[in-house]
Amino acid sequence: MRLERLILERSGLVLVAVALVTVLAFLVVFDPVERRSRLVIEPSIWSLLPEGSPEREFLAETQNRFGSNESLVMGFAIADVFSSDALSRIRRIREALIALPEIRGVTALTNAINISGSEEGLEIGPFVNEIPTRADELAELREHVMTNPFTAGSLVSRDGKATALLIQLAPISTPDYGRARVSERILAAARAEAGDGEIWLAGGPHMGVANARVMLRETVFLPGLMLGVMSLVLVFSFRTVRGVLLPLLTVAVAVLWSLALAVVTGHVLNVVTVLVPALLTTLGLSYAIHVVSEYYEVEEATAVRRAAQATAQVQLPVFLTGLTTAVGFSTLVLSPLPAVRQFGLLSVMGVACTVVASLTLTPAMLSFWTPPRRKPPAIGRSSVLAGKVARFAVHHRLLIFGAFGAAFLVALFGATGIRVGSDQITKFSKESEVRRHFEAVNEKLGGANPLFIVLTADRPGAFKDPEILSEVEALQGWLGAEPTVGETASLVDHIKLLNRAFHENEVEWMVLPSRQRMISQILLFGDSPEVRNLVDVAYQTTVVKVRAKVIDSDEMTALTARIEERLKVLPASIEGRVTGTSVVIGEALDQVIRGQALSVLSAFLIIYVVLSALFVSSRVGLVALVPNVLPVSIYFGALGWAGISLSPGTSLIAPMVLGIAVDDTIHYFARFIRDAKNATAATLATVGPPVTVTTLALCAGFLCLLSSELSTQREIGQLAAFSLAFAWLTDVTLTPALCARMNIVTLWDLVSLDLGEDPRQSIGLFRGLRTAQARIVALMGALVDVPAGRRLFRTGEPAEGFYVVIAGRVESWIDALDPNLKPTIHGRGDTVGEAALFVGEHFSDAKITEDARLLRLSHTSMEQIGRRYPRIASILFRNTNLILASRLALQARAQSLDEVFYRPEVAGPEDAISAQPLIGDVALAETLGSLRIQGNTITALAPIPLVTVAWADGALDRPEREAILYEAETLGIERGTASFDLLSEWLASQPDDRLYEAWTGYLKALIPQLSVEGRLRLKESLLARAQRVAQAAGGVGGVRAVSRSESSVLRRLSAAFDEERIDL
């Protein structure tokens, strides 16, 4: 059942079904028992990393081998860390933290491991066993800590005013971490013991939960705010309850359905997919507004019929816009980033939900409302304004093309300045606690961005070699000179520390031993878990742990590049590689550019294919793509000019803008074709208001993202609003300018157009064309319905083209030749006025005698067919020439026959032409008259021998019928003419012998008038045609080419040309 019929007959049932699905979706998304959402939010940055990539696998392998630098870091700032009071507070804070069940361990100054020498040998134990109280003990502790490369600058700040507590968490997922409020409890426990000291907390889980909470809050808050702002736009635009309530209700239902699908399919909301609800809010509103706007356009007496008619008008454009939008988002699955791929999949599902909700819920609700008496005032005013804009665009096409061309060049230049980045910290406001804490830890405690430099030698034991270790030491020295690097730690530091310990803690022994044997002995006695976190058991691979101070991803990328350049200086026996979460993210962001380019180009290609198929022309598809390419180009230009990073979040705007822009374009083209072909002002006056309302609502909705706590969300809001506003400007100016001189054919017209039964055979102009090609010709022209009695054209009138009769009857005549001549009757398949195509004016009169449907082909449409469909055009011009040639031949033949056999004379008004035989054979004239062979059917005499041969066996087969029709066409007998109608009767029912006798009588009178050569040519031509008809059915049973009875008739025909044996 079609949608409009469903709305017309079952609107109540539709509402019940929608309500049931919506309730089910609510129960899927929200758990009423536990009173919590079933949506899973995963804020982890791992969702940004490519799955299975070599970089990610190498990072995982490195962390598994040497331990992870990533844990919660608590900073404790106080006037002097090396005071008894401060140390007591540090110990109490550690004890309070370790008491929390989610915490597995805490490393603080009071329990950090120190390596030192004593009279008893090497001592490995905590820096603090008992809290020192004497000044000399505190000074000694300060010296030990600040000369230890593993604690100075990282565990304790260089100025001694801040210390770190490294918190190891028990295995726990980020959602569980957030639900247990671990960060809040950690901060509360620490602050309870810190006194007047300041507490900071940083680390991946803490940042992830902060991010998740903002995401969850904005997942609920932002769509609500967007709906509120959009409702104000709708109130201003429609000023009716239905115009405001129904789009908003449709959006809410579609978003709920989409979230339910996300839960059912196991998708989570991450840092990227959290934008899906906001996106669907804008898309759903767009679709619903088009339905409501169409509801105000149609004119039906009842609400149900109005809603059904509106549905019938918009269902195909809405479906196609949904399809193209989904295609745009589906290209995101080509992205190497899992979060972006999930965004694409969720968006495709969401678009499907919005299309279904817009085409079911909205019209079903409208069917229960009282029909409006008039359009909303704002819609009417915007229609007038849109019409003026369209006329301006059409009259100033070159100016419009120049302006948009200049905008494209400016955008292209700006796009060269695009930078790639993903700022996990700076996206939070400077006042936010999570950012303040991170920046404090980053500044005071040696950097908060961990990196690994993995060094691999070409042989086992290499990292016991003093020369190789000196290279590592030099590398650390270079890193220390880097202003963006905080602290570093390596096996070299550990060996130095052990060497000092073996030499009674003398500072001058804080160096690398010069002999490999000494290094091996030191490592043998000083082996510990700390060593295993720095080098593998074979001493072939070691790691330099770096804590960088950079925050922005592009700065991290630059630092990584500098480190990689430095690694090239290492000896050939050592291979170095940099890794870390920030490094992998940076490498993933490099793939964002490639993925963005690939997804956008793929979207352009797929949408171009869709548009080309939709408009049945690659050229029109390209023209229709232009208004959609420009907004995307402007988006990339805005990224460069505004200095906004191309991030996983902002990379989603291009396919989003493309999908929404295609939405408006398809609605424009659909209306342009359906109601106002070649009338751009009328089209934009109808389509402009919903497009404008949609754009206002979308821009207002995206600008709501400016209230977000996250800078990435705010940037998305700005870029999306700007790009969509430009897309609107393109739709109301450039699109009308492009369409002003175009004739467009669409796929749905091609499928639905009815040209009657087998137009390729029944319409001479379409001979050699496929049915689809014939429909293209009809759609490039204009199908017009003309009532009986109307004059089609007059002699001498300027001719814009010619007509093809699809149905009905048309009469044409030439008064200048003979006012008493009977008019020519044109039926289905005939062309009328085709000669005017070449001479520019009509030289005959034409009138509709029976309600007719005509195809009008103008000079312009024929030229457009020639440019757009050259193959079709060549066949059309060939057929037109054949029609003209056969018509001229027919007129010449009729004239010669008339001159040879008849003398036209006026007999009276009831019979304009009577046949008076030149030879005075009144009986023959009467016989011909009784057989309806007269002036306008004289050409029917020619195929009589062929009919006689075909009926020789008492039956006429289909192949024989087709053969006769083909021969008749070559003789100039066109379909729809009186001669053709008469011939059709002879083929439908076997005529009696009088028909053949009349032909032989005519031939007996004609032969004396012909020369010997003329008689021979006529005989050969006639017998050849008759032979082809006889052979068409293959004889009896296919054994003989020609049956006996047919051979007999053929012999009689041959004998008829013998003057002495004319009377058979």
Smallest CA-to-CA distance from 684 within 698, 696, 672 is with 672
Q: What share of the chain is helix, strand, coil (3-state, %, to 5)?
A: 60, 10, 25
**Which residues are registered as beta bridge partners of 949?**
none
pLDDT at residue 1060, as a whole number: 39
Asked if 485 and 447 count as a contact pair (C-beta separation under 8 A), the reply is yes
At residue 544, φ and ψ (nearest 5 deg) are -105, 120
What's the residue count for the chain? Answer: 1064
- Which residue, 451, 448, 454, 489, is CA-closest to 151? 489
3-23+210-361+379-420+588-739 CATH fold: Multidrug efflux transporter AcrB transmembrane fold (1.20.1640)
Q: Which residues contact 935 (CB under 8 A, 6 or more apart)?
A: 822, 898, 902, 904, 912, 913, 915
Question: DSSP letters along 542-611, please?
Answer: EEEEEEE---SHHHHHHHHHHHHHHHTTS-TTEEEEEE-HHHHHHHHHHHHHHHHHHHHHHHHHHHHHHH
DSSP string computed for 319-353: HHHHHHHHHHHHGGGGSSSHHHHHHHHHHHHHHHH
Q: Which CATH superfamily is domain 753-899 in?
A: Jelly Rolls (2.60.120.10)
pLDDT given at position 677:
47
Write the CB contacts of 826 (distance below 8 Å, at least 6 apart in sequence): 805, 809, 810, 811, 812, 832, 976, 977
| Best CA proximity match to 76, nearest among 485, 445, 450 | 445
DSSP string, 475-496: HHHHHHH-TTEEEEE-HHHHHH
For the whole model, what pTM was predicted? 0.63
Place of tokens 């995963």: 42
Q: Pick from 719, 656, 717: which is nearest to 229 by CA? A: 717
- DSSP of 83-118, one letter per residue? SHHHHHHHHHHHHHHHTSTTEEEEE-TTT-EEEEEE
Measured distance CA(540)–CA(561) in Å, rounded: 24
Q: What are the boundaries of each domain within the chain? A: 3-23+210-361+379-420+588-739, 71-202, 753-899, 923-1061
Between strands 30-31 and 449-457, the pairing is unpaired
- Least Cα distance to 149 among 94, 112, 199, 106 occurs for 112
Phi-psi region of 48 (alpha: psi -120 to 50; beta: other; left: phi over 0): alpha
Could you report the average pLDDT of every consecutive run of 10 residues in the chain (1064 residues)?
Answer: 64 88 90 78 63 77 74 88 92 92 87 76 80 89 86 87 87 73 90 91 78 68 74 79 85 89 83 74 78 76 76 79 78 74 86 89 83 62 67 80 91 84 71 84 82 92 92 92 88 88 82 89 80 88 89 80 92 91 72 67 79 76 84 88 78 73 72 55 64 80 79 82 87 78 62 73 83 81 87 83 88 67 78 76 85 86 81 85 69 47 35 33 65 72 85 84 82 78 86 83 71 71 83 54 80 72 36
Within 8 A by CB and 6+ apart from 287, the residues are 250, 318, 321, 322, 354, 355, 358, 359, 663
| Contact (Cβ atoms closer than 8 angstroms) between residue 1031 and residue 964 | no
- Crossing angle of helices 711-729/653-674, nearest 10°? 20
SS3 848: strand
DSSP class of 733: I
| Sheet order of strands, 485-489 included | 485-489, 541-548, 449-457, 574-579
Query: Do strands 574-579 and 541-548 pair parallel, antiparallel, or not at all (unpaired)?
Result: unpaired
Cα distance between the two ends of the chain: 67
For 454, residues 6+ apart whose C-beta sits below 8 A from its C-beta are 58, 62, 541, 542, 543, 576, 577, 578, 579
- Are 291 and 314 a contacting pair, CB within 8 Å? yes
Residues 6+ apart with CB under 8 A from 225: 704, 707
Give CA–CA dist 449/168, Å, rounded: 17
> Quick one: pLDDT at residue 51?
65
What is the second-level CATH architecture of the domain 71-202?
2-Layer Sandwich (3.30)
* Region of residue 993 (phi > 0: left; psi between -120 and 50: alpha; otherwise: beta): alpha
What are the φ and ψ backbone dihedral angles of 268, each rounded to 5 degrees?
-115, 160
Determine the Cα–Cα distance for residues 549 and 443; give it in Å rounded to an integer: 7
Evaluate whether 826 touches 810 at the Cβ level (below 8 Å): yes
Among left, alpha and beta (phi > 0; psi -120 to 50; other), residue 1035 is: left
Q: Are strands 791-793 and 845-858 parallel, antiparallel or unpaired?
A: antiparallel
